[in-house]
Amino acid sequence: MNPTSTLTLTNDLSELARLAQWLTTFGQGQGIEEKTIHFLNLALDELVTNIIHYAYPDGQTHSFSLELRRVDDRVEAELIDDGIPFNPLEAPEPDLDADLDSRRIGGLGIHFVRQTMDEVSYRFERGQNRLRLVKRCTGA
């Protein structure tokens, strides 16, 4: 079994650049093709941005973690935070056919997660939000 890599993040938007760098390094180390890492980055970016914006309304600095593991032909990721309980998968789907005037941005991030990942699941356990993603590697 491949070892799990863990990235500890804090609730500051500057962490998004570190997340991207870490994912790139992980992908290169595991020989995962760039397209797969791009989609993982896109999905995690949206979820991490949500956590940074909404999980900790007290305005204090908090840490949360991202675990990543290569298993056979796929990458498994789990985001774990102890912020307010929130299941992002309950967000309504955006109306992708809406015209310009009625088009809204809300829900687009989660839409990306659903579209780009092969499996997405959420559970709240022992005071922690745990969002698990699975992405199959293409061609790697």
Partner 1 sequence: MDIFCEKQSDALIFVVRGRLDGSTAPALQEQLISQLDTASTIIIDCSALDYMASAGLRVLLLATKQCKKAGRPFGICSLKDEVLEVFKLSGFIAIIETFNSREQALAKLASPA
* Among 117, 114, 20, residue whose Cα is nearest residue 77: 117
Cα dist. 120→28, 29, 63, 123 in Å?
24, 24, 22, 11
How far, in Å, CA of 134 to CA of 35, rounded? 15
Single-letter residue type at 21: Q
- Per CB under 8 A, 16 contacts partner 1: yes
Closer residue to partner 1, CB minimum distance, 24 or 69: 24
Closer residue to partner 1, CB minimum distance, 33 or 123: 33
- Per CB under 8 A, 108 contacts partner 1: yes
Cα dist. 78→23, 75, 132 in Å?
13, 10, 4
Single-letter residue type at 19: L
To partner 1, the closest distance from the beta carbon of 96 in angstroms equals 4
Among 54, 89, 103, 118, binds partner 1 (CB under 8 A): 103
Closer residue to partner 1, CB minimum distance, 42 or 80: 42
The site map against partner 1 for 61-90 (x = CB under 8 A) is ------------------------------
- Per CB under 8 A, 112 contacts partner 1: yes
- Per CB under 8 A, 42 contacts partner 1: yes
How far, in Å, CA of 128 to CA of 36, rounded? 27
How far, in Å, CA of 124 to CA of 25, rounded? 30
Residues that bind partner 1 in the complex, under the rule CB under 8 A = 13-17, 20, 38, 41-42, 45-46, 49, 52-53, 96-97, 99-101, 103, 105, 108-109, 111-112, 115-116
